[in-house]
């Protein structure tokens, strides 16, 4: 009984843990498919793919992705090269200096990215001036500065990955290559580099991801080349739309895809190795088996499921039209809005009547009637005209109405009406 | 045998900081010879090999290959190929790519390399194994691939750094014969490093016995075994019984030794020490276990040893008798098993007889650790 309680507790704990970890991602992904103009899943309006369309028509996002890719590629090249050089140096350096050298080379990881960003900017600006170059020189170019700035600490990550592999390298292999007539360059290229290839690949992926998601260093250095994270941050300042959810969904989907792909590949290698060992045994058993790629390879099965789901989704998106649903929702909203307008008008009418009655009672001199729009503390939001115009216009306006303040669409009359 | 390229070490000193790894080594290695450096681990033999192959610059002195001074010439420019102790096969390359690595460096075509690899694979009796990875081969096969890889570079001198030490006994004995055969077939100079005296004796034309950075003796196997120059060489190569004492009298090539325990015994002065031993000098006398015979009881003289038997053992081809010896060491006597009846002597005194020509005297010195 005690143990079953413990078991249940563990499951509950795991459920809570994963809900905490993955819940936000799932919710955000779902909002990408809701036609509501503010990212949310309740109330669910209509299934739509319009946010993806919108995303791919957003020039700033696309430009941000392009800049991120360029900067990511540059950072990968520079960081991996610097990381490899640093790792090699660590194995060559005088043993007494090794600990000190290691500390120095790891330090950038511990320095806040903001500091690295500012210092990169200041340092290269100084160099630029010393060389007497203008503001449009390569040294003050956003891409150059961002690559340099990010690499200052990403190279340290790369070095850590590469050192781990390098420690397993037998220097006798290099000696053997030299002994067989290779030059140092040939020994490096033909022996050490192939040995390091898996670690270099890992370091490159790590460097790319670190570069892609970096914000706090990049924010100082991007100049005229805002990366995706910068663009997103700037967009969020003016209110978010589900198009950002759509982007998040794509990134999550790509991550899951590559994780599954990698896992499937690893599993497959293991299975091949196991099959080689058991080759004799398997030859004897003539059973019907799944294609070898899938047998015992859960990741591969998931990968295929994933691929099928993606194709289905894209296919559905191509033929699916949520127009009818959206029109219905729009109609509902319009009716709702009209109803509220009527209510408001009625209210106003009553208020006016009351006031007129009061004025009549007071019998004062003729006063100008107060403007109805000055009645409320909400500016023009509840003005009948504003409401009417909003209801007539496209409810899911692509451009949120300007001038509504820092709260995005929250105070949009449509969103209010939609809440009911 | 074709006259290959010889190697000379001229007053070679190698120091690491204060530590002297090799002390004044002077060695002439004849071209086409199978030459071994024999010594316990840490005696500096691998250091010499690394100096010959060019991975290490000597502190003093010269390495000459084919009469040419190798000073300042890197390992990739020397006509040597080294077989590493752990073989150092390239783990990511297939066997045939491993073997022909030296050709790849020179830019040979894949077809050409493949052809040469097949030739060499035939030579090392591993046909059709070219497409495997080194990790898929057994220890002995890897060993042979390493040899083929070194030979593919067509070196004038092949250097082998204890290449058999990782193999099991049976394979080791097999590879000894094979190595010797390969060496005679290709006719190049082999320099072989080992701590196993059996390997050195069976394969080598010449052996250098090394102790703590010093070369004690350079000679062929028979000479080293029968006529050791130092106490270390005598005790390191093969089994030997030591008798400590002082020289009592020198009689031409022989000397009478006043031993600490066994009275005055006569022995031959080893060739290298003739004229160097004088009366009163500390000396060590060595007699091999198989050089003893059991003498009739009561026999006395300068070639008889009497001692109490501590235990005996039967080894199949020989009976071994262990008696109390000098300085806590036992004297081992090995009597060949020729089908004769054998009496148990344990606890009794036994008189042993030897021929003075089979006993050798050297100046007292350091013995090999057991």
Same topology between domain B7-226 and domain B239-363: no
What per-residue confidence (pLDDT) applies to A410?
A: 47
| CB-CB contact of A175 with B84 (8 Å) | yes
Tell if the CB–CB gap between B102 and A181 is shorter than 8 Å.
Answer: yes
Chain A contact for B88, CB < 8 A? Answer: yes
Quote the distance between the C-alpha of residue A396 and its chain's center: 24
Which residue of chain A comes nearest to B55, CA vs CA? Answer: A175
Which residue of chain B comes nearest to A276, CA vs CA? Answer: B136
Chain B contact for A179, CB < 8 A? Answer: yes
Domain that holds residue A419: 322-340+380-420
Sequence-separated (6 or more) residues with CB below 8 Å from residue A26: none
| CB-CB contact of B153 with B81 (8 Å) | yes
* B84 DSSP assignment: B
Chain B contact for A199, CB < 8 A? Answer: no
| CB-CB contact of A299 with A260 (8 Å) | yes
| CB-CB contact of A299 with A264 (8 Å) | yes
A271: which strand partners?
Answer: none
What per-residue confidence (pLDDT) applies to B328?
A: 65
Tell if the CB–CB gap between B101 and A180 is shorter than 8 Å.
Answer: yes
A200/A68 same-domain check = yes
What per-residue confidence (pLDDT) applies to A294?
A: 61
pLDDT confidence band for B343 (50 / 70 / 90): confident
What per-residue confidence (pLDDT) applies to A296?
A: 67
A40/A21 same-domain check = yes
pLDDT in tens, A174-185: 999 999 888 999
- Here the ipTM equals 0.80
What per-residue confidence (pLDDT) applies to A382?
A: 47
Chain A contact for B106, CB < 8 A? Answer: yes
Check if CATH label 2.40.50.100 holds for domain B239-363.
Answer: yes
Residue A178 lies in a domain: yes
What per-residue confidence (pLDDT) applies to A157?
A: 92
Which CATH number is correct for B7-226, 3.40.50.2300, 3.30.470.10, 3.40.50.300, 3.30.465.10? 3.40.50.300
What would the two tokens of residue A336 be? Answer: 């709702």
To the nearest whole percent, how much of chain B has pLDDT over 70? 98
Chain A residues with beta carbon closer than 8 angstroms to that of B74? 178
A229/A176 same-domain check = yes
pLDDT in tens, B233-257: 998 888 888 888 888 888 888 888 8
**Residue after which a domain boundary falls, among A218, A240, A262:** A240
- Higher-pLDDT residue of B361 and A408 is B361
A152/A110 same-domain check = yes
CA-to-CA dists, residue B149 to A2, B108, B136, B145, angstroms: 66, 15, 17, 6
Chain A residues with beta carbon closer than 8 angstroms to that of B53? 179
Domain count for chain A:
4
- Span B331-344, average pLDDT: 84
* A188 DSSP assignment: I
B132: which strand partners?
Answer: none
Domain spans in chain B, listed from the N-terminal domain onward: 7-226, 239-363
Tell if the CB–CB gap between B84 and A176 is shorter than 8 Å.
Answer: yes
**Is pLDDT of B48 > 80?**
yes
Which DSSP helix (H) or strand (E) runs through B143? helix B139-152
Which residues, given as ranges, of chain A have pLDDT below 70? Answer: 1, 276-296, 363-420
- Higher-pLDDT residue of B145 and A282 is B145
What per-residue confidence (pLDDT) applies to B95?
A: 92
Q: What is the DSSP string of B213-265?
A: TEEEEEE-HHHHHHS-SSHHHHHHSS--EEEEEEEEEEETTEEEEEESSS-EE
Q: Pick the range with the lowest mean pLDDT from A304-318, A376-390, B7-21, B183-197.
A: A376-390
What per-residue confidence (pLDDT) applies to B36?
A: 92
Tell if the CB–CB gap between A179 and B81 is shorter than 8 Å.
Answer: yes
pLDDT confidence band for B179 (50 / 70 / 90): confident
What per-residue confidence (pLDDT) applies to B280?
A: 84
- Span B1-27, average pLDDT: 85
Whole-angstrom distance, CA of residue B52 vs CA of residue B80:
8
């Amino acid at each position: 009984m005690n143990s079953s309680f413990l078991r249940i507790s563990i499951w509950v704990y795991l459920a809570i843990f994963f809900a905490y970890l993955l819940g936000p991602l799932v919710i955000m992904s779902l909002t990408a498919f809701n036609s509501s103009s503010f990212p949310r899943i309740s109330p669910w309006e209509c299934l739509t793919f319009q946010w993806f369309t919108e995303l791919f028509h957003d020039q700033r996002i696309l430009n941000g992705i392009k800049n991120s890719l360029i900067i990511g590629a540059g950072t990968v090249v520079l960081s991996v090269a610097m990381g490899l050089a640093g790792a090699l140096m660590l194995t060559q350096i005088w043993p007494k200096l090794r600990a000190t050298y290691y500390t120095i080379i790891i330090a950038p990881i511990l320095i806040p990215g903001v500091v690295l960003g500012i210092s990169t900017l200041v340092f290269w600006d100084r160099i630029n001036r010393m060389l007497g170059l203008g503001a449009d020189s390569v040294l003050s170019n956003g891409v150059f500065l961002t690559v340099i700035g990010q690499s200052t600490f990403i190279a340290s990550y790369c070095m850590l990955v590469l050192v781990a592999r390098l420690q397993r390298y037998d220097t006798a292999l290099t000696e053997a290559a030299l002994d067989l007539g290779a030059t140092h360059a040939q020994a490096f290229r033909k022996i050490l580099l192939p040995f390091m290839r898996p670690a270099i690949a890992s370091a490159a992926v790590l460097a790319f991801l670190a570069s892609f998601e970096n914000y706090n260093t990049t924010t100082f250095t991007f100049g005229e080349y805002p990366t995706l994270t910068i663009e997103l941050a700037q967009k969020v300042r003016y209110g978010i739309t589900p198009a950002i959810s759509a982007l998040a969904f794509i990134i999550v989907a790509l991550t899951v895809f590559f994780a599954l792909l990698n896992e499937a590949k690893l599993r497959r290698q293991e299975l091949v190795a196991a099959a080689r060992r058991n080759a004799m045994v398997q030859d004897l058993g003539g059973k019907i088996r799944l294609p070898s790629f899938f047998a015992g390879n859960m990741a591969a099965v998931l990968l295929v499921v994933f691929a099928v789901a993606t194709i289905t989704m894209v296919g559905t998106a191509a033929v699916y039209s949520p127009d009818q649903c959206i029109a219905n929702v729009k109609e509902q909203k319009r009716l709702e809005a009209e109803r509220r307008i009527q209510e408001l008008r009625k209210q106003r009418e009553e208020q006016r009547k009351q006031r007129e009655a009061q004025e009549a009672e007071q019998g004062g001199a003729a006063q100008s009637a107060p403007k109805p729009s000055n009645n409320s503390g909400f500016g023009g939001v509840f003005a009948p005209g504003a409401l009417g115009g909003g209801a007539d216009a496209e409810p899911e306006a692509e451009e949120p109405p300007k001038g509504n303040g820092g709260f995005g669409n929250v105070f949009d009359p449509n969103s209010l009406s939609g809440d009911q | 045998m074709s006259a290959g390229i010889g190697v000379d070490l001229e007053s070679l000193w190698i120091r690491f900081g204060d530590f002297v790894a090799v002390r004044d080594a002077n060695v002439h290695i004849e071209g086409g010879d199978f030459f071994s450096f024999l010594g316990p681990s840490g005696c500096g033999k691998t250091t010499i090999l690394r100096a010959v192959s060019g991975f290490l610059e000597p502190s003093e002195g010269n390495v000459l290959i084919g009469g040419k001074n190798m000073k300042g010439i890197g390992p990739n420019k020397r006509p040597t190929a080294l077989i590493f102790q752990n073989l150092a096969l390239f783990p990511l390359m297939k066997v045939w790519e491993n073997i022909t690595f030296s050709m790849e460096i020179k830019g040979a075509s894949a077809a050409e390399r493949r052809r040469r690899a097949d030739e060499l694979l035939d030579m090392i009796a591993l046909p059709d194994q070219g497409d495997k990875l080194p990790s898929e081969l057994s220890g002995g096969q890897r060993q042979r691939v390493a040899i083929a890889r070194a030979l593919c570079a067509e070196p004038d001198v092949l250097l082998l750094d204890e290449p058999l030490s990782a193999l099991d006994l049976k394979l080791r004995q097999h590879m000894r014969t094979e190595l010797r055969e390969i060496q005679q077939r290709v006719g190049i100079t082999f320099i072989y490093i080992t701590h196993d005296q059996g390997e050195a004796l069976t394969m080598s034309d010449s052996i250098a016995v090394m102790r703590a950075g010093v070369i004690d003796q350079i000679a062929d196997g028979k000479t080293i075994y029968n006529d050791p120059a130092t106490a270390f060489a005598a005790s390191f190569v093969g089994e030997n019984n030591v008798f400590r004492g002082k020289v009592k009298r020198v009689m031409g090539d022989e000397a009478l030794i006043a031993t600490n325990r066994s009275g005055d015994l006569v022995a031959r002065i080893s060739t290298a020490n003739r004229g160097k031993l004088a009366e009163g000098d500390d000396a060590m006398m060595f007699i091999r276990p198989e050089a003893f015979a059991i003498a009739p009881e009561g026999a006395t003289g300068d070639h008889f040893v009497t001692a109490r038997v501590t235990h005996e053992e039967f080894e199949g081809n020989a009976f071994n008798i262990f008696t109390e010896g000098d300085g806590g060491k036992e004297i081992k006597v090995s009597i060949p098993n020729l089908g004769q009846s054998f009496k148990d002597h344990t606890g009794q005194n036994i008189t042993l007889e030897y021929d003075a020509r089979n006993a050798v005297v050297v100046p007292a010195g350091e013995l090999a650790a057991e």
